């Protein structure tokens, strides 16, 4: 779709407490075309968590409301520009009796900056088995802190973390924006927050450190509200061939594992 078909009505804004809700409120251009018009002035590349969350909302707006996202996998293809709107084109790959599959491409200036595949399900019954335990950590206590570039969220570090890191790999998060009762928006908020740090920070050294993200995946084990405290716990898996992989788990305050995610990034000697 050509942006010239629809005049741009966006304006640069200052992020307030409801910034995330405004980011996720996509404009519908056509049946399967959406546009994110929330833009802001930043001296950094487009935050990947924002385009991930918006792409998920675009996909979810094309499935029946009784179908909830259970997984997504996305590839970051080009740096985006936070000062420009993003167009999202949705492809309805399949609608079965229980599952719906969607693909989304995010476009800026006629180029694809991200593609995302996602799956939605009406849910079914089955064994509920968990082999991952929530780490023994302190709860979220004041003072709360803001994480750089993570709008509408407040965070808290765990007192049990004794190794100082440039970026924390275990912390509490909760959304302070009003997302209402829509499970899709809460899943998108969880996705938005899952990209804020990295499990590779513990491997940083003279020989290498993480670079731009390549891909990101999230598995949603059950619907969860993003406005309650969630523990995000990440760990490195492996580096090699110029790439690094880490995985992460998200738990509720009462210890339920509600999501698992992973990301692969470039990993090597810093450029001069």
Q: Which of 50, 232, 263, 265 is catalytic?
A: 263
User: Is 195 marked active-site?
Assistant: yes
Q: Which of 108, 119, 169, 195 is catalytic?
A: 195
| Cβ contact 74:58 at 8 Å | no
What are the extents of the domains in the chain? 3-122+137-268
Q: Is the peptide bond before 174 cis (omega within 30 degrees of 0)?
A: no
User: Is 145 marked active-site?
Assistant: no
Per-residue pLDDT of the chain (272 residues; tens, 9 = 90+): 333 333 333 444 445 678 999 999 999 999 999 999 998 887 778 899 999 999 999 999 999 999 999 999 999 999 999 999 999 999 999 999 999 999 999 999 999 999 999 999 997 788 888 889 999 998 887 667 777 778 999 998 886 554 566 788 999 999 999 999 999 999 999 999 999 999 999 999 888 899 999 999 999 999 999 999 999 999 999 999 999 999 999 999 999 999 999 999 999 987 66
What homologous superfamily does CATH list for 3-122+137-268?
Answer: Acyl-CoA thioesterase, double hotdog domain (2.40.160.210)
Is residue 226 classed as helix, strand or coil in its secondary structure?
coil
User: Is 213 marked active-site?
Assistant: yes
List the end-to-end C-alpha distance of the chain, in Å, as a whole number: 39
> Do strands 38-39 and 11-12 pair parallel, antiparallel, or not at all (unpaired)?
parallel
119 φ, ψ to 5°? -130, 140
Q: Which of 100, 152, 213, 262 is catalytic?
A: 213
What residues contact residue 165 under an 8 Å CB cut-off, 6+ apart?
Answer: 201, 202
């Amino acid at each position: 779709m050509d942006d010239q078909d629809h005049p741009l009505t966006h304006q640069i804004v200052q992020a307030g407490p409801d910034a995330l809700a405004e980011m996720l409120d996509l404009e519908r251009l056509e049946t399967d075309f959406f546009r994110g018009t929330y833009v802001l002035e930043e001296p950094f590349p487009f935050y990947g968590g924002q385009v991930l969350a918006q792409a998920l909302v675009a996909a979810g707006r094309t499935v029946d409301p009784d179908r909830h996202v259970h997984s997504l996998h996305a590839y970051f293809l080009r740096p985006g520009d936070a000062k420009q709107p993003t167009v999202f084109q949705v492809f309805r790959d399949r609608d079965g009796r229980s599952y719906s599959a969607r693909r989304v491409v995010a476009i800026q200036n006629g180029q694809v900056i991200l593609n995302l595949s996602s799956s939605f399900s009406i849910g079914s019954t089955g064994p509920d088995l968990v082999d991952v335990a929530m780490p023994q950590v302190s709860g979220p206590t004041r003072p709360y802190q803001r994480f750089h570039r993570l709008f509408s969220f407040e965070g808290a570090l765990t007192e049990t973390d004794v190794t100082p890191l440039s970026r924390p790999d275990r912390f509490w998060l909760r959304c302070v924006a009003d997302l209402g009762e829509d499970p899709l928006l809460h899943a998108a908020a969880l996705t938005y927050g899952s990209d804020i740090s990295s499990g590779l920070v513990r491997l940083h050294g003279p020989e290498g450190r993480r670079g731009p993200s390549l891909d990101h995946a999230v598995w949603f084990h059950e619907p969860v509200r993003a406005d309650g405290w969630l523990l995000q716990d990440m760990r490195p898996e492996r580096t090699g061939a110029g790439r690094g992989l880490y995985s992460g788990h998200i738990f509720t305050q009462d210890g339920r594992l509600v999501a698992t995610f992973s990301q692969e990034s470039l990993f090597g000697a810093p450029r001069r």
